[in-house]
Amino acid sequence: MPPDPAAIRRQLAWRRAITGVLAEPEQIRVVFQPIADLARGTVAGYETLARIDAPVPGIGDRLSPDQWFGAAEENGLGPALEGVVIARALTRLDDLPPNAFLTVNVSPHLLGTPELDEAFASVSELSRVVVELTEHVAFGDLESITTETRRLRSAGALIAVDDAGSGYAGLQQILELRPQLVKLDRALVAGADRDPARAALAELLGQFAGRLDAWLLAEGIETVGELATFCRMGVPLGQGWLLGRPADEMLPLADEVRARVLAETSRVAVTDAIASVMISKVTVTTADRCDSPDPQPEPEPLVIVDRSGSPVEMVAPDPRDGVMRKLPVSLRVLASDAADDVLLRALTRSAEHRFDPVVCTDSWGQVIGIALVDELTRHVVKARAEDH
């Protein structure tokens, strides 16, 4: 079949437009959508999104980012366009507020290409960067993707996977990649306040993410009812037009949005939070600092973290005899999580680690204390007795 002249003209128009944008990357505008800490009513991070306002002659003006990236992929320019967008986003790292992260979107099949490697190497370290994999990959490709995400983690980045709950392939990808951030599929967020089955599935995925030591993010929150539902579930992070739209600057939550979030989360009494039984007098150190040929007994609990600040081991009272020993981190929770929920998660761990201390962190994952399961149990039992 002879080539379609219209299709050829369309492809050439796109190729010229994309090449022009790559030559003048200032035509790419990076905007930032806030990701809210639903426990504190503050911004936990920002997702970076690309806006390309350049026209494509014969096709249209103000075309969507998906159209640009799709056309770039068809023309063999996908890595180049994505690399430029990532590099432009990373130039704004210095604008991040304290204790906030920056999310950059990455097509998994482009990881390891020279263009993306160059973009990530444009900054000295990635400790406040979350690399979000924006599409599912075939199971056979997961080995190479896992290798590339391991490289990014070694540079300090965290890994996020989106569309959790959209199908078996997505769950299999999460199991293999073990991301630190899991974004709930929008189909489970929209109308969750009106559909108990949808809310129940979202809650199950939250428990699944917790078992993998990952944060759950509800994306696409657009109504007060949806916000209330995910606050009530204890989902730590939320994103959507109700919480904040993409903007040219990294803006805080609007006063009325912050008030709404706090109004929803205030329904959980402070006394029910695990922070009320948390041991905050904890030393936090890296593995290289605590290794010594003659380790000394620790006078207080010690949590060992990796380069990104994520807890990997601890020296804490062994639940079997109370002696300070090195123990694995088998459960990490937010200090604002409900005590009864944390206790349930702790007691569903494997028998070997069921009563190990629980590591408590802030919304960015930095260690602020530990909780002992026996103290947590006493607290929950006492609270329930007082309620009755």
pLDDT higher than threshold 80 for residue 298: no
If asked whether residues 134 and 210 sit together in one domain, one would say: yes
Instruction: Show which of 220, 249, 266 is a domain's final residue.
Output: 266
Contact status, residue 235 vs residue 206, Cβ threshold 8 Å? yes
pTM of the model as a whole = 0.70
- Residues in CB range of 144: below 8 A, 6 or more apart: 111, 112
Query: pLDDT tens digits for 143-175?
Result: 888 999 999 999 999 999 987 655 545 677 888
pLDDT band for position 315 (cuts 50, 70, 90): very high
* Per-residue pLDDT, 170: 67
The rounded mean pLDDT for the chain is 86
* Per-residue pLDDT, 3: 67
If asked whether residues 250 and 185 sit together in one domain, one would say: yes
pLDDT band for position 187 (cuts 50, 70, 90): confident
Question: What's the DSSP call for residue 371?
Answer: E
If asked whether residues 220 and 328 sit together in one domain, one would say: no
Instruction: Show which of 266, 301, 316 is a domain's final residue.
Output: 266
If asked whether residues 308 and 178 sit together in one domain, one would say: no
If asked whether residues 43 and 166 sit together in one domain, one would say: yes
If asked whether residues 11 and 144 sit together in one domain, one would say: yes
If asked whether residues 257 and 285 sit together in one domain, one would say: no
The percent of residues in the chain predicted with pLDDT above 90, rounded, is 52
pLDDT band for position 199 (cuts 50, 70, 90): confident
If asked whether residues 230 and 179 sit together in one domain, one would say: yes
If asked whether residues 369 and 261 sit together in one domain, one would say: no
Using alpha carbons, list the distances in angstroms from residue 128 to 99, 133, 172: 8, 16, 26
Q: 207 lies in which domain range?
A: 5-266
If asked whether residues 240 and 283 sit together in one domain, one would say: no
CATH number of the domain that residue 217 is part of? 3.20.20.450
If asked whether residues 252 and 322 sit together in one domain, one would say: no
pLDDT higher than threshold 50 for residue 271: no
If asked whether residues 128 and 183 sit together in one domain, one would say: yes
What distance in Å separates the CA atoms of residue 359 and residue 279, rounded to the nearest whole number?
Answer: 10
Count up the domains in the chain and report the number: 2
CATH number of the domain that residue 328 is part of? 3.10.580.10
Regarding predicted confidence, which is higher, 200 or 295? 200
pLDDT higher than threshold 60 for residue 270: no
Range scoring the smallest mean pLDDT among 7-21, 105-119, 125-139: 125-139
* Per-residue pLDDT, 269: 44
Regarding predicted confidence, which is higher, 79 or 336? 79
Contact status, residue 165 vs residue 188, Cβ threshold 8 Å? yes
Query: pLDDT tens digits for 94-118?
Result: 999 988 999 999 999 899 999 999 9
How many helices (H) and strands (E) the chain has is answered by 13, 15
Instruction: Show which of 224, 246, 266 is a domain's final residue.
Output: 266
